[in-house]
A and B are shown apart, each in its own frame.
Chain A
């Protein structure tokens, strides 16, 4: 498969995978979402499933990261995440402040303890 990573063959493979095994989930979701009664317990349940799923993704990205983030210690990553959440709640619930604080703490903590 790796020898096909360049060129038109790879483009066609990527297109086929995107169109036939990835995009259909979106189509099914739209189909269901178009018909579901938003007051029904089913809709409320799907909403909770989507929320828990994204929260799980967050933990995976922090605890089991890929690439350069994996080079930083777990303590540094955890501290930065906790600082971002704390800054969000303590400093006026602004998204940019929380994200910015988290990034800043990551850099400082890595420079001090890394």
Chain B
């Protein structure tokens, strides 16, 4: 494997940037909305349908299921929330596991933020963009934003987030209403789409050697860490796996 050139996150504009020149802010936003109709958007809608069905099983109302989707916009947090409530866990236990799942959003926000900074960035824009940072929107931002001129990046990402939010709300309501109607194999396929999409997107977006090492480290370390310390597993997998990958890549690249 040939080590990639040292990767610089806000990459210089590529030729792709030319086709974005002269577009209005609303046109850039609308192009972001359209991402909801691509494969990742449809997968996320399908995953949301799975969540809607789960939430109904746990006894939540349709409104509260859809509201939870909008308020958290992060399926793992919602799933543990529903799971805790269904098991009758205390409110503080529920809040603790939700906050543990939320920690993973921190590094994702850190690495996407440099792309969102631009001449049109505002604090409100950042807060809105931050709310949209969950795996799917993060992944799409990560893949798409480097190819845009800097002034369009925040508007485009807000479009991506708004479109994906819309499709998750519709997906949740659909799943809620259709729960129990679809055969289990169909539900299983819906749940399977998300991890495959996540992994392939990580592979597609891996630009630096450290990215590839980090994917391997996460894949290898994730399962044993989950078995040893469920609840803290994602955080620990990220910290341990990411640190090993970081130093391994630096060591490898330092060699002549």
> Total A-B residue pairs with C-beta atoms closer than 8 Å?
327
CA distance A41 to B60 in the complex (A): 45
| Closest A residue by C-beta to B219 | A55
B-contacting residues, A33-58, CB 8 Å: 33-34, 36, 38-39, 41, 43-58
CA distance A9 to B132 in the complex (A): 25
Q: Among B113, B117, B222, which residue has its beta carbon within 8 angstroms of that of A56? A: B222
Interface contact B9-A38, CB-CB below 8 Å: yes
Interface contact B113-A30, CB-CB below 8 Å: yes
Q: Which listed segment binds A: B13-21, B27-35, B64-72?
A: B64-72
Question: Which A residues are CB-close (under 8 A) to B213?
Answer: 48
B47-72 to A contact mask, C-beta < 8 Å, 1/0: 00010011000111101100110011
Give the shortest distance, in Å, between B100 (CB) and chain A (any CB).
Answer: 9
Q: Among A2, A22, A46, which residue has its beta carbon within 8 angstroms of that of B77? A: A22
Interface contact A46-B110, CB-CB below 8 Å: yes
Question: Which A residues are CB-close (under 8 A) to B53?
Answer: 67
A74-113 to B contact mask, C-beta < 8 Å, 1/0: 0001001100110010000101101100110011001000
- Which of B88, B103, B109 neighbours the largest number of chain A CB atoms within 10 Å of its CB? B109
Question: Which A residues are CB-close (under 8 A) to B119?
Answer: none
Interface contact B246-A45, CB-CB below 8 Å: yes
Question: Which A residues are CB-close (under 8 A) to B43?
Answer: 99
Question: Which A residues are CB-close (under 8 A) to B81?
Answer: 14, 17
Interface residue ranges, A against B (CB under 8 Å): 1-2, 4-7, 10-11, 13-15, 17-30, 32-34, 36, 38-39, 41, 43-69, 71-72, 77, 80-81, 84-85, 88, 93, 95-96, 98-99, 102-103, 106-107, 110
- The 5 A-B residue pairs with the shortest CB-CB distance, nearest first, are A29-B109, A33-B113, A55-B218, A53-B238, A56-B222
Interface residue ranges, B against A (CB under 8 Å): 8-10, 39-40, 43, 50, 53-54, 58-61, 63-64, 67-68, 71-72, 74, 76-77, 79, 81, 83-86, 88-91, 94-96, 98-99, 101-114, 117, 126-127, 129-131, 133, 135, 184-185, 187-204, 206, 208, 210-211, 213-219, 221-223, 225-226, 233-235, 237-243, 245-246, 249-250
Would you list 24 pairs from A and B whose C-beta atoms are within 8 A, ordered by A residue? Answer: A17-B94, A22-B72, A22-B74, A23-B130, A25-B109, A33-B113, A46-B107, A47-B208, A48-B210, A48-B213, A48-B242, A48-B246, A51-B211, A51-B242, A56-B237, A58-B219, A61-B195, A62-B195, A67-B50, A68-B187, A71-B184, A98-B200, A102-B192, A103-B193
